[in-house]
Chains A and B, each alone.
Chain A
Amino acid sequence: MTPENIFNNRSFCRCEACKAAVHSHEKTARDASIHTPENISKQLNRLPEIKASPDFDRKMTARFALELENETARINKAWLQKSRNISLPHLISDLKGELL
Chain B
Amino acid sequence: MERLVVNKLHNMSDEDVMEQLQNGVVQAFDVIVHRFKDRLHNFLYRYTHNHEDCEDLVQETFLRVYRSRHSYQRIAKLSTWIYTIALNLAKSMYKKKQRMSLISIHADESDPDDREFQITDSTILQDEALHQKNSVKELEKALMELNDDFREVIVLRDIQQLTYEEIAEITGTAMGTVKSRINRARIQLQEIIGDYVHSETF
Contact = CB atoms under 8 A, between A and B. Distances in A.
Q: Do A and B come from one complex?
A: yes
Interface of A: 24, 27, 30-31, 33-37, 40-41, 43-45, 47-53, 56-57, 59-61, 63-64, 67-68
Contacts of B186: 37, 40-41
Interface residues of B, number: 41
B135 A34 contact: yes
Query: Which of A24, A36, A50 is packed against the most chain B CB atoms within 10 Å?
Result: A50
B69 to A, nearest CB: 11
B158 A44 contact: yes
B189 interface: yes
B63 A53 contact: no
B191 to A, nearest CB: 10
A50 B42 contact: yes
Interface of B: 26, 29-30, 33, 37-38, 41-42, 45, 51, 54-55, 58-59, 62-63, 66-67, 133, 135-136, 138-140, 143, 154-155, 157-159, 161, 183, 186-187, 189-190, 193-194, 197, 200-201
Contact of A34 (B42, B51, B139): B139
B63 A40 contact: no
Nearest to A39: B190
Nearest to B136: A47
